[in-house]
Amino acid sequence: MEKAFKNHLKSEFPFLCQGKLLLAVSGGVDSVVLAHLCKLAKLNFSIAHCNFNLRDAESDSDEEFVLDLADRLDVEVFIENFDTKAYAEDEKISIQMAARELRYHWFEELSVALKYDYVLTAHHANDNLETFLINLVRGTGLEGFTGIKAVNNTVIRPLLTFSRKEIEAYAELHKIKWREDSSNASNKYLRNKIRHDVVPVLEELNPQLLNGFANTQAHLNDSLNLVEDYIGLIYPEIVSKTMYGYNLKIDFLKKLPNTKAVLYELLKTFGFSEWEDVYQLLDAQSGKIVYSSTHRLIKDRDVLILAENEPDRKMQEYFIEEGENILMLPMGRFTISEVDEISKTAPNCVFLNAEKLTFPLVLRKWSNGDVFYPFGMKGKKKLSDFFNDNKLSLPEKESTWILCSGNEIVWIVNRRADNRFAITDPSQKILKITYTV
């Protein structure tokens, strides 16, 4: 196996021979064998071990074992202790996910601080097959079948083409000691059943199972790449970036031979779960919305608008005190000044009769009963009607700011002033308010 490993290094990861490497070692047979092989291949590496403190004395014995291993191999070693349970509770994630996040985050820190080029992990061919079968049991899509990647940015898995049997046989042959790994947290039962009760039957049916499976996964990866290339090709015709997120063109989507599948690919990272509702939006009435925990998809005439969920409106209220000149707010800057006369107007600027204003002025989002007296029109108008007349989409309405004096609307910012505060006589005291993003 030593020779096979060196050849594999040379052909697939020649860059590792020049690099400064950080090797993740749990103490299990896979990572201990990898450490020995790296030493034999004369790679420039240090060892990193995470103590997740999930198995009391056992965790500490693992730590001691790794310290001793580093000593015998004569390589530098880093140990970090984590309170994994607390982290999992804080972040509301599984123990397994917590361990994963803590581990990769620490590797990242170490790599940056001490200039490691690559992190090596000891995942092997059986890990890939087991994960495939676990995902089959749980239900998945193509991505769940494509497996752990041998090269994923700076994380490298040089044992991915070797089977667990090969690794264990090598350890036995060279009398390499390791610690039986009883971790794997929540996944343990499922993975062990797959490992001990399913994989051996499949291997009995085809002794070359793992080789064949590597080809199978290479094919699946090819297919996944082609799906991504396809989405990349049609993306610019369907999707356009907006101030609020993205617009998806319904007519183009509908012309595709597999509209639903494309819509799924476009939206899969936005947390939607009610996919039938999402698909039905294509033919729904304007205004219909489907929510995920973070996003909304809004049918708006000929587009689907993808936007983040609206933040609580009541929380968004800002005040302009009398005499204030410049106000920096999250949505932009308001400049307030007294002027002698009305200059050329622009949508982002309003001239107000200062005598009619009650301070502090209030900047807020619209609410249902809002009514104003549009400048240049007779009489009043519901704000909702004004929005609809101007064909504002829901995110446009939501992002519109209203400047108020007491309960009265002074200015629909960037859109329309109110008659009641307009300058009717040059002798009035004129306040100019300008909004810039």
Which residue lies nearer to a second copy by CB, 97 or 214? 214
H helix runs in 372-425, sequence order: 383-389, 394-399
The answer to whether the CB of 415 falls within 8 A of the CB of 383 is: no
The answer to whether the annotation marks 28 as part of a ligand binding site is: yes
Q: Encoding tokens for residue 349? A: 């600027």
- Asked if 303 contacts 391 with a C-beta cutoff of 8 angstroms, the reply is no
Q: Which of 42, 92, 138, 241 binds a second copy (CB under 8 A)?
A: 138
Quickly count helices (H) and strands (E) in the chain: 15, 22
Provide the minimum distance between the beta carbon of 141 and a second copy in the complex, in angstroms, as a whole number: 4
- Of 190 and 371, nearer to a second copy (C-beta) is 190
**26 annotated among ligand-binding-site residues:** yes
Q: Which is nearer to a second copy, 265 or 310 (CB)?
A: 265
CB atoms within 10 A of CB 7: 10
**Cβ–Cβ under 8 Å, residues 193 and 156:** no
- Whose structure tokens read 């009435």? 285
For a second copy, which stretch binds (CB under 8 A), given 59-67, 138-146, 280-288, 396-404?
Answer: 138-146
CB of 294 to a second copy, least distance (A): 22
If binding is defined by CB under 8 A, does position 104 make contact with a second copy?
A: no
Among 88, 133, 281, 412, binds a second copy (CB under 8 A): 133
What is the footprint of a second copy within residues 163-192 (CB under 8 A)? 190
Rounded-to-integer distance, Cα 33 and Cα 37, Å: 6
- Which residue, 215 or 407, has its beta carbon nearer to a second copy? 215
- Piece of the chain touching a second copy by CB under 8 A; list 104-112, 117-125, 131-139, 346-354: 131-139
To a second copy, the closest distance from the beta carbon of 186 in angstroms equals 13
Is 46 marked as a binding-site residue? no
- Cβ–Cβ < 8 Å for 103, 119: no
Binder of a second copy out of 44, 46, 96, 140 (CB under 8 A): 140
Site string for a second copy, 187-226 (x = CB under 8 A): ---x--xx--xx--xx-xxx--x--xx-xx--xx-xxxxx
Tell whether residue 262 is a contact of a second copy (CB under 8 A). Answer: yes
Phi-psi region of 299 (alpha: psi -120 to 50; beta: other; left: phi over 0): beta
Helix H, strand E, coil C: the string for 224-254 is HHHHHHHHHHHHHHHEEECCCEEEEEHHHHH
> Residues 6 or more apart from 342 whose CB is under 8 A from it?
351, 423, 430
Concatenate the DSSP letters of all residues of 332-365 into one string.
EEEEEEEESS-----TTEEEEEGGG--SSEEEE-
CA–CA dist 250, 410 (Å, integer): 37
| Count of CB atoms situated within 10 Å of the CB of 336 | 18
The minimum distance between CB 212 and a second copy, in angstroms, equals 3
Which of 257, 330, 376, 379 contacts a second copy by CB under 8 A? 257
Q: Sort 263 into a burial class: Cβ within 10 Å, 0-12 / 13-18 / 19+.
A: buried
When the beta carbons of 229 and 425 are compared against a second copy, the nearer one is 229
Q: Is 231 in the site for a second copy (CB under 8 A)?
A: yes
Residue 229 makes contact with a second copy by CB under 8 A: yes
* Site map 234..253 versus a second copy, x via CB under 8 A: x-------------------
Q: Is position 260 an interface residue for a second copy (rule: CB under 8 A)?
A: yes
- Classified as helix, coil or strand, 368 is coil
Q: Is 139 in the site for a second copy (CB under 8 A)?
A: yes
Please, what sign has the CA dihedral across residues 161, 163, 166, 167? positive
Q: Which of 78, 87, 104, 230 binds a second copy (CB under 8 A)?
A: 230
- Candidates 130-138, 310-318, 327-335, 425-433: pick the segment binding a second copy (CB under 8 A): 130-138
Residue 307, exposed/middle/buried by CB under 10 A (0-12, 13-18, 19+)?
Answer: buried
Nearer CB in complex with a second copy: 93/134: 134
- Minimum CB separation of residue 304 from a second copy in Å reads 19
Binding letters toward a second copy, positions 354-393, x by CB under 8 A? ----------------------------------------
CB 51 within 8 A of CB 59: yes
Q: From the CB of 280, what's the least distance to a second copy, in Å?
A: 16
Which residues contribute to the annotated binding site?
Answer: 26-31
Can you give the binding site for a second copy, defined by CB under 8 A?
Answer: 132-133, 136-142, 145, 190, 193-194, 197-198, 201-202, 204-206, 209, 212-213, 215-216, 219-220, 222-227, 229-234, 256-258, 260-262, 264-265
Annotated binding site for ATP: 26-31
